[in-house]
Amino acid sequence: MSAVGFAPGKIILLGEHAVVFGHPALAAALPQGVRVELDAAQSFEISGVGVPVDDPRVLVAAREIGAAFGITGARVRVTSELPTGGGLGSSAAFAVALARGVAALAGRVGCEPEIEEAAFIAERLFHGRPSGVDHTTCARGGVVLFRKGPPTRVEQVSVARSLPLVVASTGKARSTATKVAGLARLVEEAPARWEPLVARLGALAEAGAKDVERGAIAALGAKFDEAHALLSECGVSCPELDAIVDVARKAGALGAKLTGAGGGGAAIALAPEPGPVIEAIRAAGFAAHLAWIGSETA
Ligand code: MEV
């Protein structure tokens, strides 16, 4: 018996970190993703690229996902089209792709809620106490406005006009759990100082969803800029992310920000004329590519 599973990567357009505190986040599936090929076996063996197959948590995650569908083992080969460097949901895409593959191996169809549940078990192993926005976006696709539960609320956002998004990688690995814990500490120690700022990040995500629905991309770009400033104030940016954002704006982007946990990983820039923005980011020493968000392929 063999089976395959695929799931796209994700980007957070607005609301990262705020989502952990119960505020909304606006996130989108990327055209690229993670694919797994499975052959039935006695126990789980994982090989390939795109996920840290040597990390023991990957095997534990596979066993947990397997258990959710009554599968005790499979030889799993992983391939990933996601740029390396993190921030683009590679762990969440892997978890959803594997859950889809395992469900297929178990002969289960139409079980998306169980697939999301199993993928969330894996995400908790990788990231501590994640909000769930990453794997939910990878599983649902398109653009979503997400609020963590209980009960989790997920609205699919219609896209009036595909978003020309330049995705840039710092190439610097980061830990989501550390960044989330750092902000949680600030909020706990001085809520009056930090809570309004976190709430504003969530409000930008909610308002940004309306911009996406209306095709108001200049307004969305301005929200990217405000969100990046707030996230920097929260201590989750880094010099590389600030450099990408600065270079992208100077090259004509309507707005730019870090995406995901920060401290490394990736940044995004809204760029109706993406060529000069991509060139400028590459000239500054970072990888960059164009992703159309909300097009048929995302
Ligand atoms: C990471 O992609 C998004 C964060 O908000 C963490 C989470 O939601 O679990 C930083």
Is 54 an active-site residue?
no
Does the pLDDT of residue 211 top 70, yes or no?
yes
pLDDT given for residue 297 in this prediction = 46
Q: Which of 12, 124, 187, 268 has the most ligand 1 atoms within 8 A of CB, as the residue to mutate?
A: 12
- Find, among 274, 272, 273, the residue nearest to 290 by Cα: 274
Residues lining ligand 1, judged by CB closer than 6 Å?
A: 12, 16-17, 19-20, 130-131, 133-134, 176, 180, 260-261
Pick from 131, 135, 228, 268 the residue to mutate for probing ligand 1's pocket: most ligand atoms within 8 Å of its CB: 131
What integer pLDDT is reported at residue 212 of this predicted model?
A: 98
Strand 74-80 relative to strand 45-48: parallel, antiparallel, unpaired? parallel
Please report the pLDDT score of residue 50 as a whole number. 78
CA of 134 to the centre of ligand 1 (A): 7
Asked if residue 83 lies in contact with residue 49, where contact means CB atoms within 8 angstroms, the answer is no
Q: Please say whether the beta carbons of 9 and 88 come within 8 A.
A: yes
Q: What is the pTM of this model?
A: 0.96
pLDDT in tens, 122-156: 999 988 889 999 999 999 999 999 999 889 999 99
CA-based torsion, 198, 82, 69, 113: positive or negative: positive
Distance of CA 180 from the midpoint of ligand 1 (Å): 7
Sheet of strand 266-270, all strands in order from the earlier edge strand to the far edge: 255-259, 266-270, 163-169, 287-293
- Whether 209 has a pLDDT exceeding 90, the answer reads yes
pLDDT in tens, 45-90: 999 987 887 889 999 999 999 999 999 999 999 999 987 667 899 9
Chain-centroid distance of CA 151 in Å reads 21
Q: Does residue 194 register a pLDDT over 80?
A: yes
